[in-house]
Amino acid sequence: MDRADIARWVSEARKSRGWTQDQLGEHLGVTKANVSHWETAKHDPSFLQLLKIRDVTGYPLREVMADKSWPFPDIPPERFAALGPDGLRQLQLALSMTLTALETAEVPSRKRVANGA
């Protein structure tokens, strides 16, 4: 999924309800500017925001998530959606902590590993 696909999906989801950008923003707790930026591909909504848009509009995520660029090819998007907002926040936190640990971890040199140090 690329930014243009997401922008198109957000716009279609909003229009499927006949809502303005202001109205969608009110339902999501964000500003009209946020919605505008998503629809013009200036910024991407978070995965949690995509789920909220799906929930408030009833517009299916399947089209935007069916793209081959889905970053988890072995896990269908529906499994993430089934986690719900709390589960997704926990998953996001766990992934963030893991990435931070990997980025800051000291990689032992080959010499130290060979000597058992």
d(CA 90, CA 84): 10
Task: Count CB neighbours of 57 within 10 A.
Answer: 19
107-116's contacts with Cβ under 8 Å and 24+ in sequence apart are none
The mean pLDDT of 41-47, rounded to a whole number, is: 88
Best CA proximity match to 6, nearest among 67, 74, 56, 52: 67
Query: pLDDT of 54-106, one tens digit each?
Result: 889 988 876 665 554 556 666 776 777 777 778 777 877 787 777 677 666 65
Query: pLDDT of 15-37, one tens digit each?
Result: 999 999 999 999 999 999 999 99
Q: Could you give the domains of the chain?
A: 3-104 (1.10.260.40)
The whole-model pTM stands at 0.58
CA 115 to each of CA 105, 106, 107: distance values in angstroms, whole numbers, following the listed order:
20, 17, 15
